[in-house]
Amino acid sequence: MFGNKPSFRNPWAWVPTLYYAQGIPYVVVMLVSVIMYKRMGISNADIAFYTSLLYLPWAIKPLWSPFVDIFKTKRLWIVVMQLIVGLGLAGVAFMIPLPSFLQYTLAFFLLLAFSSATHDIAADGFYMLGLSEHDQAFFVGIRSTFYRLSMITGQGLLIILAGYFETHSGLPPATIEVTTSSNLKIERIIFQENIPSASPDDQLKVVTNSSSLNLSTNKRTKAEVDSMVNLVQAKNIKNGFYNTKGEQPKIPELKLNSSDYTKSVGNISVIAIALSSEPKEDKDYIVNFDRDGGDKSISILEGTRFVFNKTNWNKPAYAILQLDPKLKTETSAAFKAISGDIPWAWSMTFLILTGLFIVFFLYHNFILPYPLKDGPAVKDASISVGKEFIRTFSLFFKKKEILITITFLLIYRFGEAQLVKLASPFLLDPREVGGLGLTTGEVGFVYGTVGIIALTVGGLTGGFLASRDGLKKWIWWMFAAINIPHILYIYLAFTQPDNFIIINLCVAGEQFGYGFGFTAYMLYMIYVSAGEFKTSHYAICTGFMALSMMIPGIFAGMIQEALGYPNFFVWILLTMIPGFFITKMLKIDSEFGKKKVEEK
């Protein structure tokens, strides 16, 4: 015991919630913010620029990780950062309704990014202090699973929640059911100028030219589709649906070469949207046109946000739906035109997140144990913080066989880093260029459902085996598991099977191997970080982990274009050869990860 405070608590009580809390701020800053800004009418260029800058704190977090080691306890850093994250989320919620919301919310998102990155450092350090080696190995798959669940929450549940608030805070929405058929002929596109309006006594609502639509899976030429996109943009700009800030958006100049006139692309249809009657209030009504469910092979090509008011309420705003050109079967999707109070909806979403993090703060302040070794690395006030900061880094690079360690960290996922960049394009590309010709919806199912399940099962299996037999016994087999399944992509590239079940099985096998093999990588980082400054040394390892994915990924596309898909996957398999020798050279305590007698 640490005074009257418990030095140990059941890891099931805090490891899952800690890593679930760790992932939420990241997904909010990097993904949820993008959708929020899009809903609020920010341009794609500004969204991409500003949200990309917000990644910086996670990229450079090893630079200030020594401060987490040097000052106070990792436990204190965790609960304080969770409180600051909660305050940052509240700041975003209160700034959204303001006229200059972009600048203010970005400031709070930056606060979230730095506090979340610091929380990552402290949580990883606390994980190593609060668990035995055996439990660290066992729970490595559990922590990854709950971190992944937080990603799913951010990309799914939070967006659904905001969408619910949008739907229930404005005008009644209009829904369009879209189906496809291979037996229909391509129809000539007609612009619906007059949309049926409601009677003067009826409630103001959003209306469309049709509640159902059946599209042919036959293709159109790219020239026809590009011309239609330009025409729709011109009409929407002319009627003031895109002009939200007094600035006239430029219509892209249509430039087509001879091959574009005959190139086939997915079929399209134009949807007309308007208000049912003249608004009584002199204000803007923002209508967002978005997916409401169904096959992602049916998507919105143009027209996702329109501004209606008294001057254009009875004029149609146009959106374009397009089918995936590879779609040949009957399928369906639903789309909804929603006019909600967008600022209020997103403010409520962020206030709920604020409440969630206040709960995390209170819960972890109570439930986290007080490990005996959790304390500041510098206990002597006479020692210079600056010198200790430098010593933290120097001690890492003075570790035994550090060059082999760094080499291992950089090449362990060398093949996977290339595969992850090209796997989806390979599945999507037409068979004529070496791909499998899957639709967007099919790829979403393969990776978003089958892949996630296999990845999670692989991670849990790896954690169980490493905790039972130790890391040393399994690390070579885990390296093999993360690399050898690339053979499955070689098979897919050379044979190009059209059986969807076979494709799913191959992707599942590769993802299981990745989840299983990544366990060894995480445990080895924990093993290497052991010592006086394990928190900051683990953060340094994560820096090399990021480089191991970034550097190979930069060149993957060029290699694939030079070799073609079949030879590219052969190349990926061959790149694992140096890693086998490096892995064999690692010196790992055979007892690391096993349950020791005193732990039983």
- Domain residue ranges of the chain, discontinuous segments joined by +: 1-169+342-376, 171-339, 386-600
The SS3 assignment for 406 reads helix
Contact 24, 353 (CB under 8 A): yes
Asked if domains 1-169+342-376 and 386-600 share a fold, the reply is: yes
Architecture of domain 386-600: Up-down Bundle (1.20)
| pLDDT computed for residue 20 by the predictor | 96
| CB neighbour list of residue 154: distance below 8 Å, 6 or more residues apart | 23, 24, 26, 27, 28, 31, 32
Distance CA 82, CA 365 (A): 10
3-state helix, strand and coil shares in percent for the chain, rounded to the nearest 5: 60, 10, 30
Residue 240 DSSP one-character state:
T
The two tokens of residue 394 are 């120097």
| pLDDT computed for residue 384 by the predictor | 61
Query: Model pTM?
Result: 0.81
Residues of the chain with pLDDT below 50 are: 1-2, 244-248, 597, 600
**Max Cα distance, the chain (Å):** 83
Helices assigned H by DSSP within 438-533: 440-445, 452-469, 471-483, 487-495, 500-529
CATH class given for the domain over 1-169+342-376: mainly alpha
Nearest alpha carbon to residue 232 among 255, 214, 264, 254: 254
| CB neighbour list of residue 6: distance below 8 Å, 6 or more residues apart | 369, 370
| pLDDT computed for residue 120 by the predictor | 93
Residue 334 DSSP one-character state:
E
The two tokens of residue 269 are 């249809």
| CB neighbour list of residue 596: distance below 8 Å, 6 or more residues apart | 132, 133, 134
Distance CA 503, CA 500 (A): 5
CB-count exposure of residue 442 (10 Å: 0-12, 13-18, 19+): buried
